[in-house]
Amino acid sequence: MNPKTLLCSLTLLLLPAAALADEASDMSRMAQEHKHDKPAPTPAAMQEPARPVDAQEVTYGEVGGKPVRGYLAKPKGATGNLPGLIVIHEWWGLNDNIRAMTRRLAGEGYQALAVDLYGGAVADNPDAAMKLMNASLQNRAAGEENVKRAASYLERNGASKLGVVGWCFGGGWSLATALLLPDRIKATAIYYGHLETDPAKLGKLKSPVIGFFGAEDGSIPVATVREFEGALKKLGKPVEIKIYEGAGHAFANASGGNFRPEAAKDAWQRTTAFFAKNLK
């Protein structure tokens, strides 16, 4: 089965009829954006955090009777109740790039927990990534339970406030987590993830939102981004959207072929300022 057929079939299982056409188109276009891409180690992807951190693999709960493991980082020698960040991986899975991003976030003064929605698997090519994403989205309830367990883990470890951030597949999950846990998530950052535009659903959102998108991203059309932004503003929800000209999907992934350093740097600065304002 080719990528477009697979993703369209997945969409039919997940969505109400009114949203089928748009979502099928979005997901098939995302596959095309990654068609010739693959994650590869680069010096930019392994950038050191602003301050030293401690990091380790942790078990943060159970889903379906099985332990779920993630990657926790926090500032070295930190004391007190730090804000917590739920970090959600791209469609490649919880790989070294996401671990590096988690350490960088921790270096800004957070306990950052990278969740794993793929059960320990990672992909190094688009076909493998699509299979993992497909399997994950077919059991969305498990994914929802997974991020709930992550939130509870951070809270048990003294998180004063919670934020969430994700990229690509994880960007859509970042928004989904904020909608799932509206009374617990206090700041939501979305990097080129699938967007909900139904005002009835967005009305549940209580946290401010910041979103980053590429003007050349064929998977998340600018028109959809503006529709999302407009719906939130009409609802009176705090939202900040930045669209980068000349950038496409996954522009902030330094380990991928779509990396745009200037856009990624600007988005990072805006992200850290956003979390500092809303979580500290």
Domain boundaries defined on the chain: 3-279
Across the range 46-53, mean pLDDT stands at: 94
Q: Could you tell me which of 188, 164, 183, 176 has the C-alpha nearest to residue 88?
A: 164
Provide the CATH number for the domain formed by 3-279 in this structure: 3.40.50.1820
Query: What is the pLDDT, as a whole number, of residue 46?
Result: 83
Query: What is the pLDDT, as a whole number, of residue 257?
Result: 87
How do residues 92-120 score in pLDDT, each as one tens digit? Answer: 999 999 999 999 999 999 999 999 999 99
- Mean pLDDT (the chain) is 89
Token readout for 41 is: 């180690």
pLDDT above 50: residue 28:
yes
**Helices then strands, each counted (H, E), the chain:** 9, 8
Report CA torsion sign: 111, 116, 117, 122: positive
Query: What is the pLDDT, as a whole number, of residue 4?
Result: 36
User: Confidence class of residue 13 from pLDDT cuts 50, 70 and 90?
Assistant: very low
Query: What is the pLDDT, as a whole number, of residue 152?
Result: 98
* Percentage of residues in the chain having pLDDT higher than 70: 87
Residue with the larger pLDDT of the pair 95 and 23: 95
Token readout for 237 is: 């929800």
Q: Could you tell me which of 150, 88, 82, 89 has the C-alpha nearest to residue 111?
A: 82
Query: What is the pLDDT, as a whole number, of residue 70?
Result: 98
The set of residues, in sequence order, having a beta carbon less than 8 Å from that of 126 and lying 6+ positions away, is 3, 31, 34, 35, 36, 37, 38
| Lowest mean pLDDT segment, chosen from 18-32, 131-145, 230-244, 260-274 | 18-32
Other Cβ atoms within 10 Å of 145 Cβ, number: 17
Give buried/exposed letters for 14-33 (b at 16+ CB in 10 A, else e). eeeeeeeeebbbbbbbbbeb
Quick one: DSSP state of residue 183? T
pLDDT above 70: residue 8:
no
Across the range 254-262, mean pLDDT stands at: 92
How do residues 193-231 score in pLDDT, each as one tens digit? Answer: 999 999 999 999 999 999 999 999 999 999 999 999 999
* Percentage of residues in the chain having pLDDT higher than 90: 78
